Structure 1
Amino acid sequence: MAAFADLDLRAGSDLKALRGLVETAAHLGYSVVAINHIVDFKEKKQEIEKPVAVSELFTTLPIVQGKSRPIKILTRLTIIVTDPSHCNVLRATSSRVRLYDIVAVFPKTEKLFHVACTHLDVDLVCITVTEKLPFYFKRPPINVAIDRGLGFELVYGPAIRDATMRRYTISNALNLMQICRGKNVILSSAAERPLEIRGPYDVANLGLLFGLSENEAKAAVSTNCRAVFLHGAVARPVPMAGSDCIRCHGESNGEALLCSLT
């Protein structure tokens, strides 16, 4: 079985807090985490920053509970798109975007969801869980996204913090599962504090509430996460920030991934 992964630890300005998130994830048995930098161009003075360097966080990486090896830290960029113009930075494959191991998009309208699934150069499409879906999922764009190897991300953090959010999360997840049949789904924490991270087996159990089968729920915290990173490694096969902790020198992206994330 592939290593357990949480691909959404929220990056903030407080490096001490971020270290705490990574240490907690390692203690809970996650072998791989992604530090997620979120950009919302609807807000003023938003720009794509360089990813957090692993060397800024740790001189020695935490050891994964039950393993004899250190945790792997990936970098992730998530762009919230509320207008078609926000997609331009992804179409242009800007140099800053290419610095990240994983690129995700959070579309806020049906038209933008369709564009994300069918055209954008991303690895992951985020599904809203904090409000009622503003549109219905349709089979054609989701099938195209699956064929392109894109993942669909559901975050569980809001569901464990608030009863209303829990209802939205379960409802939106079930709507997604009716169309995608559990394919290419990943489950992430979206944690800003250590207490918001749950162990991988607990997260897999949450996946059952979201309409995933037992095998699909386990894949959502392991093999599907690996597939998301591999998609990014193939789409943007250049040395990326933070990649010193995941890639093995002298190997191709795919070979390095298989030797590090299994």
Structure 2
Amino acid sequence: MLCDLNIGFPLSDFNETINNDQLIEVKKCINTSIILGYTHIALNFKPSTTTSNSNKNKISNDLNLINPINLEKDFSEFSGKIKIFTRITIKIDDPSQCQNFAKFQQIFDIVAVEPLTEKSFQSAISNLEIDLISFNLQDRLPCFMKHKTLCSAIDKGILFEIKYTDFLNNRNRAQSISNSKQIIRASRNRGLICSSGCSFNNSNLLRNSINVIPILKMMGIDSNRCNLMFKDWSLKVLLNGRLRIKSYKQTISISGDNGLLDNSLEDKNWDSSKNNKINNIKQNINTYKKRKNDINDNALDKILKKNKVV
């Protein structure tokens, strides 16, 4: 089982629709991932902005219209070959840009942020319910990576992403390696995942984990943890994201394939019947409380009769 949680999606606005040429390029990336042995991938939607009031970038109040990635319509032919998930990565340079995160957490399987300043980085760790923190490794990091800060995020379940395509680019390759080593040092080699970060029209940059592990080992990560970055730790990100939007009052659905619920196995009528299910649960709780009070009253009567009080 191999995971690649960052394959670029061509759209950058919430109200755009994908055209045929772009769809063909995305499917080439997915086919290449299948050939390389990947079993779980995530299509990464990176909106240009989330705070603009213009009609072009305005976020709809209808949750069904927020996610431009339609897996059932555009990628149904990959069912049974590879599991495809949706991801959103939001660039933030000010904590005030995080007002729409509640909507994203209900729609996308993975919610990631790319902080641009130290203030936004601290806010993402302490205030946001997210799955991943990613950086543009070709530029300078927004702040110095401290062990205490990164470990507090990892303890909350937030993992950090390293993109190996930043090492393949000739531009600022030394800066990418330096930034990655700083993240690895501060995290103490844990809480990391490795993904491609490949754009939708550059499927030739995709690599198998066997080709990437030597680069990670060169930066100080042992072989076992290199494999965890592509397997168990990446799967943990998927599980955290899926449980966030598909669990209700600690009740979850489990499939027979590694415990991960696929999109094809979801109950499509859940949203329409959610209110009915909640009402039934409330009725059952009220019935239980009533029955519990009756039991307590009967027990009290027996005690009183035993002691000849009544």
| 1:203-218 correspondence runs (5 A) | 203-218=212-227
Cα distance change on mapping 1:256 and 1:182 into 2, 3 Å? farther
Q: Does 1:172 align with 2:179?
A: yes
Structure showing greater Rg: 2
Q: How much identity, in percent, do the aligned residues show?
A: 27
C-alpha contact (below 8 Å) 2:105/2:245 kept by paired residues: no
Structure number with the higher helix fraction is 2
Which moves more between the two structures, 52-61 or 4-13?
A: 52-61
- The C-alpha deviation readout for 1:67-120, integer Å capped at 9, x for no partner, is xx5110010011110122112222xx11x4411110001101112111112221
Normalised TM-score (structure 2): 0.71
Once residues 222 and 57 of structure 2 are traced to their aligned partners in structure 1, the CA distance between those partners, rounded to angstroms, is 39
Q: Which runs of 5+ in 2 are unaligned?
A: 11-17, 60-65, 262-310
In structure 1, what is the Cα distance between the partners aligned to 2:110 and 2:46?
12
Q: What is the number of residues matched between the two proteins? A: 238
Could you tell me which residue of structure 2 aligns to residue 195 of structure 1? 204
Give the whole-Å Cα distance in 2 for the aligned partners of 1:43 and 1:130: 25
Superposed CA RMSD in Å reads 2.3
* Deviation, structure 1 residue 234: 2.3
Q: Specify whether residues 257 and 186 from structure 1 end up closer, same or farther in structure 2 by C-alpha distance, changes over 3 A only.
A: farther
Larger RCO (CA within 8 A; separation ≥ 6)? 1
Change (3 A) 1:256 1:7: farther
Aligned equivalent of 1:27:
35
1:11 aligned partner? 9
Contact residue 87 and residue 109 of structure 2 kept, 8 A: yes
- In structure 1, the residue matched to 2:300 is none
Q: Mapping of 1:89-238 within 5 angstroms?
A: 89-90=100-101, 93-94=102-103, 96-162=104-170, 164-192=171-199, 193-237=202-246
> Which moves more between the two structures, 72-81 or 211-220?
211-220
In 2: Cα distance, 1:255 partner to 1:123 partner: 22
Unaligned runs of 5+ in 1: 63-68, 240-250
- Under a length normalisation based on structure 1, what TM-score does the superposition of the two structures give? 0.83
Q: Deviations over 1:20-43 (max 9, x none)?
A: 111100100000100000123289
SS in 2 for 1:6: strand
Query: Contact conserved, 2:94 with 2:119, CA < 8 A, in 1?
Result: no
